């Protein structure tokens, strides 16, 4: 596998960051918490206060009930206070197998931000240009000469979303292998204004993956490994090949409570642990662990600001969407950068603060409620984490969010599809 100049520069930069982190830790008298392994920002070695942990646990339990999930994975990194990384519950409704933090799951639309990372690194090598028209690299799809690769990444292509129409087929035949053109067809047909607004478009990110494959003459499976997993040391993150499989080993079992099960109180969900990643491809097909997810989310956030703490040119182009801003396959919510996603059997979200390095990542193993529920849970966890008192020898930053934990606790309840005690 070739070693690019860009990747060599990234490796040197990572080494510098690691050195700076070690110096900072030595100066503060702390060592990085084992629970926050992979963080690019030094984490206080202290355990979080009992009250903070209880609040975090209560928030996750509340969301698990609303989603009908038997299990959850959570990673909360608070540089000035400590870390909390837990597997909660069991892998299934009738199982006594505990959830462990090494378990793998599908990350849903978090894949979008990962795909954009690959785009920018391939562009850095000069293989593509961000303003290349889609038609230059996906010639088999007509009438896309007015849409650029950058616009696919930013969600401003004007293309639509076909998941709602295809969802019954996904759940009926989860092991079917899909051609990306099949997935993109509906969204391509639903054209809106290019560059004018952000639209939820699975077609855009699928086309972006197709374009990158054609430009590099490599599979997106390989490109994820070469341009994402290796540079960021995401050893358990990949875009799997098309053959139906579990999300990795060991796998967090994934479930869906269909309409009948919801009416019965979410007591007998259907298992979807094994499915084809081609259902999501470069829109929502990636898999990961809770540690890798947190590391990716933090790296994404840190890359969004320059040395003066200002948004970089790439991130300053965000447009309003769903109450937040959106650009580069990710949301900007207050000061946080992140994503939320749903895949068959799993709900996933990650948000991080670029100024402090505070990071929250969470996965639930029932996807019936949709991504809005887990996105609200991540914001609730972030609000709790932002109020955590500083550990001995640490200084609490001047940092706040434009919402409270109670605000998003209510949103989780609103989005719930299963009974909450």
358-394: pLDDT as tens digits: 999 999 999 999 999 999 999 999 999 999 999 999 9
pTM value? 0.92
Sketch the domain layout of the chain as residue ranges: 5-415
Contact 293, 36 (CB under 8 A): no
Q: How confident is the model at residue 257 (pLDDT cuts 50, 70, 90)?
A: very high
Examine the pLDDT at 410 and tell me if it is beyond 50: yes
Examine the pLDDT at 201 and tell me if it is beyond 80: yes
Q: What is the spatial distance between Cα 77 and Cα 385, in angstroms, rounded to a whole number? A: 8
Q: What is the spatial distance between Cα 378 and Cα 339, in angstroms, rounded to a whole number? A: 10
Examine the pLDDT at 20 and tell me if it is beyond 70: no
Share of the chain above pLDDT 90, in %: 86
Cα-based angle 323, 345, 377 (whole degrees, multiple of 5) = 35
Q: What is the spatial distance between Cα 404 and Cα 397, in angstroms, rounded to a whole number? A: 17
Q: Looking at domain 5-415, which CATH architecture does it have? A: 3-Layer(aba) Sandwich (3.40)
Mean pLDDT of 22-31: 37
Mean pLDDT of 130-148: 92
Examine the pLDDT at 5 and tell me if it is beyond 60: no
Mean pLDDT of 164-177: 95
């Amino acid at each position: 596998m070739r070693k690019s100049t860009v990747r060599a520069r990234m490796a040197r930069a990572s080494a510098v960051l690691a050195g700076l982190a070690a110096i900072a830790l030595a100066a503060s008298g702390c060592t990085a918490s084992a629970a926050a392994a992979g963080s690019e920002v030094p984490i206080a070695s202290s355990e979080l206060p009992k009250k903070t942990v209880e609040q975090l646990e209560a928030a996750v339990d509340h969301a698990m009930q609303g989603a009908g999930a038997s299990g959850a994975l959570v990673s909360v990194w608070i540089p000035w206070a400590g870390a909390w990384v837990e597997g909660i519950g069991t892998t299934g409704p009738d199982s006594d197998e505990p959830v462990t933090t090494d378990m793998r799951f599908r990350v849903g639309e978090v894949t979008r931000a990962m795909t954009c990372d690959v785009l920018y690194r391939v562009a850095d090598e000069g293989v593509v240009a961000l303003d290349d028209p889609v038609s230059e690299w996906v010639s088999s799809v007509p009438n896309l000469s007015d849409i650029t690769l950058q616009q696919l990444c930013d969600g401003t292509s004007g293309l639509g979303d076909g998941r709602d129409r295809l969802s019954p087929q996904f759940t009926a035949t989860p092991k079917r292998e899909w051609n990306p053109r099949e997935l993109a067809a509906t969204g391509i047909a639903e054209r809106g204004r290019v560059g004018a607004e952000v639209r939820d478009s699975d077609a855009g990110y699928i086309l972006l993956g197709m374009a990158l494959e054609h430009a590099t003459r490599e599979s997106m499976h390989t490109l994820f490994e070469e341009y994402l997993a290796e540079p960021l040391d995401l050893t358990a993150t990949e875009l799997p090949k098309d053959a139906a499989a579990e999300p990795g080993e060991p796998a967090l079992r994934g479930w869906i409570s269909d309409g009948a099960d919801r009416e019965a109180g979410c007591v007998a969900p259907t298992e979807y642990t094994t499915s084809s990643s081609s259902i999501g491809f470069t829109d929502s097909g990636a898999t990961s662990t809770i540690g890798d997810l947190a590391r990716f989310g933090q790296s994404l956030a840190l890359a969004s600001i320059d040395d003066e703490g200002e948004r970089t040119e790439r991130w300053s182009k965000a447009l309003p969407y769903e109450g937040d801003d959106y650009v580069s396959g990710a949301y900007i919510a207050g000061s946080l950068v992140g994503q939320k996603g749903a895949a068959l059997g799993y709900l996933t979200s990650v948000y991080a603060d670029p100024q402090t390095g505070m990071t929250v990542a969470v996965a639930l193993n029932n996807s019936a409620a949709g991504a809005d529920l887990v996105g609200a849970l991540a914001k609730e966890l972030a609000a709790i984490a932002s109020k955590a008192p500083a550990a001995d020898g640490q200084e609490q930053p001047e940092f706040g969010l434009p919402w409270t934990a109670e605000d998003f606790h209510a949103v989780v309840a609103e989005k719930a599809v299963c009974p909450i005690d």
